[in-house]
Amino acid sequence: MDKFVIEGPSTLSGSLEVGGSKNTALPLMAAAILAEGETTVTNVPDLRDVHTLSKVIRVTGPDVTVAPDDHTVTIDASTVDQPVAPYELVKKMRASFYMLGALIGRCGQARVSLPGGCAWGPRPVDLHIEGMKQFGAEIELDEGYVVAKARGGRLEGGTFRMEPSSVGATVNLLLGAVTARGGSRIENAAMEPDVVAFGEALKEMGAQIDGLGTRTIEIQGVDGLDPIRVRNTPDRIEMGTFMILAAMAGESGKPFRITNGNHEHLGQAFKDYFRGTGVNVEYTNDGAIVTPPESLTPVSIRTETYPGFPTDLQAQWTVMLATADGEATVTDTIYDDRFKHIPELQRLGIDVSVNGNAATVRGGAKIKGAQVMSTDLRASVSLVMAGIVAEGRTDVLRIYHLDRGYENLAEKLRAAGATIKREQYDEFAEPSIQK
């Protein structure tokens, strides 16, 4: 198993480059199944999840070519003859459940394993299943699989209101509805840029969709879609992560550049909170320039669905607050069990406590290197960020979580001045104990 070894503290300088969005690339790959022919997605990050979904898609029949050096995935869906997504692959990643909508949309039927994914908090697929039923699918559960069939080979269409709003369910319902016989409506739909970019790609393929970026999406089913070549969007969560890291670990008064990002995808709430810390930020056509202040002002945040503060950035914000002068609170209204990184941060000396769905951070405590363990994707990167500003050595274990969402993170951070390397270790080795 691999870990990161970080020697701190480090002061970062220069720039960090944002990669392609995993959260948009995976739905785009699933959408390729809907079109008979060859679809190419560019600006795709070289991540474990991309390779996992590629394997899932291959099982169903298409040829998939992943070119990591070119950040390109090509899917020839001329043949889709096995509408099955097996447990052995789907258990590794929740986004594999997009195969439900994609296979119903292309084949009129699907047998998809219930998903796995990050180890924190329940993220049920009830909305996906109930939405498909409202759109005309007959669904039953069979030994851990969702077995779905559209009468006559195509969904009828219908109306479904999501409570709460869900990115994953919005994507899945779009995949199924674009080839339905009739019209469909998704109410309380997700408004995230990932969903909008995905929906725009479906429209380019020939889908008839109105209302992207609003709470109500209307779809009129078409007989089929056409293959396209489409560029994936930049990763807004990676951009936000790098901005937070620059604010807490950059040199006071010295500009730090974030490149290849799209600041409009961050949402206004994040921008407002971030500026409130005293950081000087200039947004550019391809990213942002962040200039850290002498001292960060602690700003309490509350996560909300887009355009609110992203839940995927709250762990990173927590670490930044530990370097600020004062006390602030991080409240997560999206998931009620997303603070498993807090005990690990405490091991590093960060003064933080949890009460319900809120974490209170008292900045100014000395951060010292320690051995810590990743529990999920965003928690992992928060531990790396803490290690960069900690005194001494920090070992971040189980970084396979990080590999799901950040491409070449160690290399990027080293280029910006961090002392970080990747090493193998034995998870089950007996510790050496000095008497």
Q: Where is 87: in which H helix or E strand?
A: helix 87-90
Dihedral (CA of 85, 215, 330, 389) sign: positive
Tell whether residue 124 is among the known ligand binding residues: yes
| Cβ-contact 64, 75 below 8 angstroms | yes
For the beta sheet containing 419-424, the strands, ordered from the edge strand earlier in sequence to the opposite edge, are 371-373, 392-397, 2-8, 419-424
Query: Contact, 350 vs 367, CB < 8 A?
Result: yes
**Backbone dihedral region for residue 213 (phi beyond 0: left; psi -120 to 50: alpha; all else: beta):** left
Report how far residue 186's alpha carbon sits from residue 23's, in angstroms, rounded to the nearest whole number: 20
Residue 280 counted as an annotated binding residue: no
90 is in an annotated binding site: no
In sequence order, which residues have a C-beta less than 8 Å from that of residue 401 and are 6 or more positions away?
118, 374, 375, 376, 377, 379, 380
Distance between CA atoms of residues 216 and 213, nearest Å: 8
125 known member of a binding site: yes
| Annotated binding residue 58 | no
Q: How many helices (H) and strands (E) does the chain have?
A: 13, 24
Residues with Cβ within 8 Å of 208's Cβ and at least 6 positions away in sequence, in order, are 178, 219, 220, 221, 222
All residues at 6 or more sequence positions from 220 whose CB lies less than 8 Å from its CB, including other chains: 182, 183, 208
Q: Is 312 annotated as a binding residue?
A: yes
Question: Does the annotation place 334 within a ligand binding site?
Answer: yes
Catalytic, 107? Answer no
Q: 6: alpha, beta or left, given left = phi > 0 and alpha = psi -120 to 50?
A: beta
Do residues 415 and 431 lie in contact, with contact meaning Cβ atoms separated by under 8 Å? no
The residue from 34, 118, 196, 202 that is catalytic is: 118
According to the annotation, is 100 in a ligand binding site?
A: no
Length of the chain: 435
Question: Is the CB of residue 264 less than 8 Å from the CB of residue 286?
Answer: no
Give the whole-angstrom CA distance, residue 149 versus residue 133: 10
Q: Is 127 helix (H, G, I), strand (E, B) or coil?
A: helix
> 27 by DSSP, 3-state: which?
helix
Task: Output the six-digit token pair for 104.
Answer: 């119903």
Q: Which residues are known binding-site members for phosphoenolpyruvate?
A: 22-23
- Residues in the annotated binding site: 22-23, 94, 123-127, 312, 334
- Per the annotation, binding residues for UDP-N-acetyl-alpha-D-glucosamine are 94, 123-127, 312, 334
Q: What positions carry a catalytic annotation?
A: 118
